[in-house]
Amino acid sequence: MKKKKIIIIGGGPAGLIAADTLSLVHDVSIYDRAKNIGQKFLLAGNKGGFNITNSLQGVELTARYSPEGFMNKALAAFDTIALRQWLSDLGISTFVGTSGRVFPEKDLRPKDVLNRITARLIKQGVQIYTEHEFVGFDNDKHVAFRNEGKELLIEADYILFALGGASWPSTGSDGSWRSVFESMGVTTSPFQSSNCGINIRWPDVIRQSHAGKPLKNIRLFTANREVKGEAVITEHGIEGNAVYPLVPVMREMLQANIPATICIDLKPLNTEEQLLQRTIGKEIKTKDYRQIFNLSSVELALIKAFTDKETFLSLTGFVGSIKKLTIPVESLRPVEEAISTIGGIKTEEVNDDFSLKKYPWIYAIGEMLDWDAPTGGFLIQGCFSMGNYAAKSILEKE
Ligand SMILES: Cc1cc2nc3c(=O)[nH]c(=O)nc-3n(C[C@H](O)[C@H](O)[C@H](O)COP(=O)(O)OP(=O)(O)OC[C@H]3O[C@@H](n4cnc5c(N)ncnc54)[C@H](O)[C@@H]3O)c2cc1C
């Protein structure tokens, strides 16, 4: 087979795994605008543990991704087991945590994983050009980069874009490339926060005395979705693993101008009856609430802040609030702070192998496409699966 010249633009998980597969056969170069590749990958673990993938497989795995079915082929071809095997080949063994999340063994950090991937790419001859910003096309096979104030044009047989979403723009992924694709007739959607905190207008007492405090073993729910887990009160609202999966529902309500609320069950292991049983035969005053229902100071403060006086003073009303405390949601935290984003190139614009329908020699992979998945290792898994699948599709081309 004649060696092809392939350029990969974006050195995150999607681009790196594509480079690994393709460089076994072809000439591969990675271009990235940042000073170093993989800057967002290095943040993994920054918010709640470094989940490199998850232990789910088959339909349980694919069900975590939307739009439904969009990534099924890529996930089937390179699933969570395949990713763990790939990591193992790099000398990174993994283990399944209690939540089904998969972590690298021996406290390996994202930096260690990135170093091992990079070392292998270099060994396989991949050229890595940092501080090269993709700025557009001269024609559709000549890609224009800006480096040290100069523009240079690179020609390639295949071009893989793996430019990421728009969260944490300081990592290099800021979504500013959207206009280039729009000008080529490839439609995109604006980026929006996903897997992010939500803004709540806290009364001063919550913001001043309770920001930073955790809510452990809670159940958060909306009309049609519930999540058990943990959250943390922030100055702006609430965030954490129990919040993120509810973000799509919140976003829909906010966009439809429906008053958005989130409900907290502070004692998911107890029914209202069980909680009330604790009070039988006792004369309960409000000052006893904390002890009798085993509430933390922040939990009590939340109930006080979001119930009326009558409800707070009545035992059944108070217990009802422990099980369902309804809190109005103002908005989502900004894209800059989100763990991931939705938006980017619309999924209708790509074939099953993530080549662009209008330009089949150009591929778009990873978070730069408009898909969504929850935290728990599904984001990185999705990016690796897409990168692997796109690369294999190119290998099969001739
Ligand atoms: C705080 C935090 C914690 C996270 N933790 C986890 C976790 O534990 N598990 C998990 O599964 N996911 C996690 N994620 C999400 C995960 O990191 C991303 O989904 C993943 O990195 C996306 O990979 P990607 O290859 O699509 O893009 P990115 O990793 O964003 O890489 C895109 C690359 O493209 C480059 N680029 C962008 N524009 C240009 C341009 N114009 N020219 C040249 N180069 C450009 C960027 O510099 C960047 O290097 C976390 C994210 C954050 C922010």
What is the set of domains in the chain, with CATH numbers? 5-194+340-397 (3.50.50.60), 198-332 (no CATH)
Closest ligand 1 atom to the C-alpha of 133? 42
Closest ligand 1 atom to the C-alpha of 16? 25
Q: From the CB of 42, is ligand 1 less than 6 Å away? A: no
Asked whether the predicted pLDDT for residue 99 surpasses 90, the reply is: no
- The protein residue with its alpha carbon nearest to ligand 1, atom 51, reads 339
Tens-place pLDDT, residues 190-199: 999 999 999 9
H/E/C letters for each residue in the chain?
Answer: CCCCEEEEECCCHHHHHHHHHHCCCCEEEEECCCCCCCCCHHHCECCCECCCEECCCHHHHHCCCECCCCCHHHHHHCCHHHHHHHHHHCCCCEEECCCCEEEECCCCCHHHHHHHHHHHHHHCCCEEECCCEEEEECCCCEEEEEECCEEEEEECCEEEECCCCCCCHHHCCCCCCHHHHHHCCCCEEEEEEECCCEECCCCHHHHHHHCCCEEEEEEEEECCEEEEEEEEECCCEEECCCCHHHHHHHHHHHHCCCCCEEEEECCCCCCHHHHHHCCCCCCCCHHHHHHHCCCCHHHHHHHHHHCCHHHHHCHHHHHHHHHCEEEECCEECCHHHCCEEEEEECHHHECCCCEECCCCCEEECHHHECCECCCCCHHHHHHHHHHHHHHHHHHHHC
Predicted local distance difference test score (pLDDT) of residue 49:
78
Tens-place pLDDT, residues 10-31: 999 999 999 999 999 999 999 9
Q: What is the pTM of this model?
A: 0.94
Q: What is the mean pLDDT of residues 162-188?
A: 96
Asked whether the predicted pLDDT for residue 234 surpasses 70, the reply is: yes
Judged by average pLDDT, the poorest of 132-141, 358-367, 369-378 is 132-141
Predicted local distance difference test score (pLDDT) of residue 140:
61
pLDDT band at 282 (very low <50, low <70, confident <90, very high): confident
Which residue out of 173, 194, 378, 383 has the highest number of ligand 1 atoms within 8 Å of its CB and is therefore the one to mutate? 173
Asked whether the predicted pLDDT for residue 247 surpasses 90, the reply is: yes
- The protein residue with its alpha carbon nearest to ligand 1, atom 3, reads 44
Q: How far is the CA of 122 from the centre of ligand 1 (A)?
A: 21
Q: What is the mean pLDDT of residues 50-65?
A: 96
- The protein residue with its alpha carbon nearest to ligand 1, atom 6, reads 44
